[in-house]
Every structure is written in structure tokens, then in C-alpha cells.
Amino acid sequence: MTAKILDGKRVATTILEEVAHQSDRIRAESEDVPTLATVLVGDDPASAIYVRKKNETCEELGMRSVHEHLPATAAADAVRDTLRRLNHDPAVHGILLQLPLPAGLPEEELLDLIHPDKDVDGFHPVNMGRLFLGRPRLVPCTPQGIMALLDHYAVPCRGKSAVVVGRSNIVGKPLALLLLQRHATVTICHSRTADLAAVCRQADILVAAVGRPGLITADFVRPGAVVIDVGTNRISDEAEFQRILGDDSPRRASFEKKGAALVGDVEWRSVKDVAGHITPVPGGVGPLTIAMLMRNTVQAYTIQKGIDG
């Protein structure tokens, strides 16, 4: 048996088309434009690429983006001032503070400064609290994208056993709450979970979100389970590439040319022959995260205009 691929790119394309239609309708009815503000502190190359991609996607969807770039030496007060100014700007509907921040900046405090109605990442305590209470509004993008993927492929959650490996505030915890709201029985695992493989083997839906290349092997997976790989890890070791992707991987030529490859937390080579459904890396969960960011920006607009359903 070879697992069916859950194609995140395809689902993300559908979501982005819906967002573009919503944006067009807003412009036609009000001559207004849903606007995302991105804030980048420092010059981390990966962060700069991520921010540029978000801004480009906004423009492609007929939305507006504004960008604030502060130097790596910026004091916390300068970041606070920027966030407060964007909070009070009625032409800005969503605010994203790109992580990670340079060392020394108070990440949680700065994220908490973003107004809950403009918090398109869904990280503010108010939005997390609403999610906990089963009254979600702006939901973290990656967990929301995973649920959209499950919906698209008609993967049932009700009555199923779901195991989430990873307890981060960004993915693990909010995803567990979303699955619980769909009537799954949810287990959250972490670095201190005893006999992790045995717990994972109980899962009908297994989500790996720990940032450890190839942690989840075939021994962790119940035959026929749905495996969602959230990990994005860059590897450069030949033996590690072979272990995770296998000798005959179509990505080998690219690995040999670039000297590195992106892999997930799942050992693709072995798990694809055990799972019933599986997400690839890249092309699985990743595209859905930015699609949900765009959807959240439009939703933030509707909230601020008093037209949120």
C-alpha cells in the first residue's frame, strides 16, 4: 500500500481563489482594500523571504500590503511604537510580526501588543482564549490550514483518535483544540512522553510538529492512518537524506546540486508505505499557512467593519 498524497498546494489554491473573490467584492462594494502590515526586525534572510512572499501574495489577491522594516539593533520601544501606530491606523486591518525576533527582544510582550482584531496570526491571548472556549475568531494559520486540508479530503474527525506530537502555542496546542471541537479524542505528546511510538500507533490521525527530521518512522504509524507532517527541516547530511527520503527519491538530483534538502518530521521513505494518507514536505501544510494568513486578513477586515458573521 502506498499512501494517498494530501496535496496542500491544491487546497491552498482553492482557498486563495476564495480570498481573491472576497477582496474583489469588498473593493466593488466599498472601494476599500483589506490591508496586511508586516513588521520585520533585523535582516534574517529566511524571514525576509517569508515576508516578501506574504506581501506578494497580498498584491496577487487584490489586497494591499505595507511593510515596516526595523534594524536588528532596534530597541523594544521602537518595535512597540511601530505596533501601536499600526494598531491605530484604520487603513491597516491585519498586523504580522515576523518571528523569530533578534535576541533580547521580548517576543511574547510584543505579540500581545497587537490588537486582537488585527492579530492575523491568531497568537493574542484573547484569540487563544476564544479558541479554548470553542468561540474561535482569528485562529492560528497552520492549525487552521490543517483542518481545511482534512475537510477537503473528507477525512473524518468525529470519534477518531488524534495524536499531536508537539505542544507549541503556534501549532500543537491550537490544533488539539480544533480537533477536539470536531469531536476527536486528542492526545498531545512531547519530549517527555513515555514510549512515544506506542502512543502514536493508537492514532487514526497523527500530526508531527516537533522540528526533528524524520522522527516519525513506520513503527510509529498505525496502518492506514492519516499522517500530517508539519515539520520543515533543512538537512545536508547524505546519510540523513537517504534515511528519510530513500535512494530513489526524485529529489536526489536537487539535493546533490544544492547540498541540502527540506524534509519533514516524518521519515517519508518508510511511512508512505504504511499510512493511508500523508502530506509531503514541501507542498503539504506549508502552502496552507500563507493561504490562511490571507483568509485571516480578510476576516480581520470584516471584524473591524462590523460585518463579521
Point out the catalytic residue in the list 22, 54, 160, 229. Answer: 54
Q: Which of 117, 119, 121, 204 is catalytic?
A: 121
Q: CA 243 to CA 99: how far, in whole Å?
A: 30
SS (H, E, C) the chain: CCCEECCHHHHHHHHHHHHHHHHHHHHHHHCCCCEEEEEEECCCHHHHHHHHHHHHHHHHCCCEEEEEEECCCCCHHHHHHHHHHHHCCCCCCEEEECCCCCCCCCHHHHHHHCCHHHECCCCCHHHHHHHHCCCCCCCCHHHHHHHHHHHHCCCCCCCCEEEEECCCCCCHHHHHHHHHHCCCEEEEECCCCCCHHHHHCCCCEEEECCCCCCCECHHHCCCCCEEEECCCEEECCHHHHHHHHCCCCCCHHHHHHHCCEEECCECHHHHCCCCCEECCCCCCCHHHHHHHHHHHHHHHHHHHCCCCC
Instruction: Let me know if 22 is a catalytic residue.
Output: no
Residue that has been written with the C-alpha cell 508505505 in this structure: 273
User: Given 98, 144, 160, 229, which residue is catalytic?
Assistant: 98
C-alpha cell of 128? Answer: 487563544
Query: Is 202 a catalytic site residue?
Result: no
- Known catalytic residue at 54: yes
Catalytic residue positions, numbered:
54, 98, 121
